[in-house]
Amino acid sequence: MSQSIEWVPRTKVGRLVKEGKITSLDEIFAMNLPIKEVEIIDTLLPDIKHEVLSVNLVQRQTDAGEVSQFRVVVVVGNEDGYVGLGTGKARQVRQAIEKAIVNAKLNIIPVRRGCGSWECFCGEPHSLPFKVVGKSGSVIAELLPAPKGVGLVAGDIAKAVLRLAGIKDVWTRVRGETRTSLNFASAVFNALRNTYAIKVSTDW
């Protein structure tokens, strides 16, 4: 999208962001408001990064015959508590990546971080506050708090998702068909989503 094209919000949330009445994603999630415009993320998280997790050639049958497309899985995040996962399909890899980035931004979630390891208790948000589990397809991912200095004990795909979420130290246990990049990434993503599914004393 050209930088010279001015964003004209189409939703109430978009208008509030552009008018400066909403200045953080925390406010949007606190009010449980939907994010339907990618410009909301671009405005509130200007330092967001992305990483391509997989590129696959897929075929689908149409009346005109077989059509080949690229399917791309992308993770986005600000490395400080926000992460998103998305897929995109197109005949060109670049277009598929662009679609996946947009979808990942629209699918962004907050991640609760903390120091839940009994070996550490430093109180800094370098890991997770407690164990979380996520599932996608046949893949089940368990993420466990780890002490400072352990790093990301995980496969490459899980590492990318965790790193962009701002997690620096974690143990992982994964079961199922991890060769399926989308399911593997989704299981880790769903586990991170569950960091806010559990109520803790600070929420009361």
CA distance 134 to 39: 29
Residue 3 pLDDT > 80: no
pLDDT, residue 204, reads 38
Tokens of 106: 């629209």
pLDDT, residue 4, reads 55
- Calculate mean pLDDT across residues 40-68: 91
> Does residue 40 fall inside a structural domain?
yes
According to DSSP, residue 201 is labeled G
Q: Are 179 and 138 in contact (CB under 8 A)?
A: no
Burial of 79 (0-12, 13-18, 19+ CB in 10 A): middle
> Does residue 193 fall inside a structural domain?
yes
Residue 126 pLDDT > 50: yes
**Number of structural domains in the chain:** 2
According to DSSP, residue 92 is labeled S
Residue 1 pLDDT > 50: no
> Does residue 20 fall inside a structural domain?
yes
Which of 74, 79, 69 is closest to 98 using CA atoms?
Answer: 74
Phi and psi at 35, nearest 5°, equal -105, 110
> Does residue 77 fall inside a structural domain?
no
> Does residue 160 fall inside a structural domain?
yes
Query: Which helix (H) or strand (E) covers residue 101, if one does?
Result: helix 93-106
Q: Are 194 and 133 in contact (CB under 8 A)?
A: yes
Structural domain span for residue 190: 132-203
Q: How confident is the model at residue 199 (pLDDT cuts 50, 70, 90)?
A: low
Q: How confident is the model at residue 121 (pLDDT cuts 50, 70, 90)?
A: confident
Mean pLDDT of the chain: 92
Q: How confident is the model at residue 2 (pLDDT cuts 50, 70, 90)?
A: very low
pLDDT, residue 88, reads 97
> Does residue 139 fall inside a structural domain?
yes
> Does residue 31 fall inside a structural domain?
yes
Residue 191 pLDDT > 70: yes
pLDDT, residue 179, reads 85
Q: How confident is the model at residue 110 (pLDDT cuts 50, 70, 90)?
A: very high
Alpha-carbon distances of 15 from 21, 39, 110, rounded to whole Å: 9, 11, 22
Concatenate the DSSP letters of all residues of 114-176 into one string. Answer: B---TTT---STTB-SS-EEEEETTEEEEEEE--TT--EES-HHHHHHHHHHT--SEEEEEES
> Does residue 24 fall inside a structural domain?
yes
- CATH assignment of the domain containing 157: 3.30.230.10
